[in-house]
Amino acid sequence: MLQVRPFMVFMVFLTIFPGCASSSKVRKLKESVVLPPLSTGIKQSTVTYEFSSASNFGTEQEYPEEVRQILEAEFIQVLRDSGYFSTIEQGSEGNGLHMKVRLVTTGSSSTRFAEMITKMTLFLIPTWGTYHFEMKANITTPSGRKEDFHFADSIRMFSWFPLILTIPFNNTADVIKEKKKNIYKNLLIRMKDNQILNL
């Protein structure tokens, strides 16, 4: 019994502290965007939005509703934190500013398979892969003007148990969340530059 315990402790340790790291070296957008505040005398806009999301690891599939809601909440949080909007409501195109946004996460099917193997071996077999985030936004202004925007960014993920013992790294979920939030911030900057947002 005494010989089994160290092994059991080791297995539990692997399960609780999986070795994952992330790298943002694959970049296509400005990183850590800081949104400028509203100019003096400029009123906040009202906006309606539609948000959809999917994954594509060989075949594009819509995310389950509970996952879509989490991703939608991240998008809405960026809109709220910007201070650009007085009201933010989900809904179809109307008389005001409208944003129709779709986010798709892509990667190869081999990346998912390798990830599964790593988890089955409790992170003893190292794997890595690149995940791509692609966002398309269709914007309609109160005057009826329409503009389309397309943004893409990527993050490289590494999974291996020794990583937790050798290098410091950020929480993987937080890194991915910040990557997506940065895409939304880039969208707002482009809307400002295109005079859709009069800041």
State pLDDT tens for residues 54-109.
999 888 999 999 999 999 999 999 999 999 999 999 998 877 899 999 999 987 55
pLDDT category at 130 given cuts 50, 70, 90 is: confident
Predicted pLDDT of residue 128: 66
Range 43-193: architecture per CATH: 2-Layer Sandwich (3.30)
Question: What is the rounded distance in angstroms from the CA atom of residue 59 to the CA atom of residue 61?
Answer: 6
Q: 46 — phi, psi (to 5°)?
A: -100, 145
Q: 141 — phi, psi (to 5°)?
A: -85, 165
Predicted pLDDT of residue 163: 59
Indicate the pTM of the whole model: 0.74
Across the range 146-154, mean pLDDT stands at 93
Candidate ranges 7-21, 63-77, 105-119, 183-197; pick with highest mean pLDDT = 63-77
Strand-pair category, 146-159 with 20-23: antiparallel
Q: What is the mean pLDDT of the chain?
A: 77
Please check the confidence at residue 183 and state whether its pLDDT lies above 70: yes
* pLDDT above 90 as % of the chain: 41
Cβ atoms of 126 and 20 within 8 Å: the answer is no
> What would the pLDDT profile of 29-62 be if each residue is shown by its tens digit?
666 678 888 777 778 889 999 999 999 988 899 9
Other Cβ atoms within 10 Å of 89 Cβ, number: 11
Higher per-residue confidence, 13 vs 123: 123
Q: For tokens 């009201």, name the residue.
A: 87
* pLDDT above 70 as % of the chain: 64
**Amino acid (1-letter code) at residue 38:** L
Lowest mean pLDDT among 15-19, 119-123, 191-195: 15-19
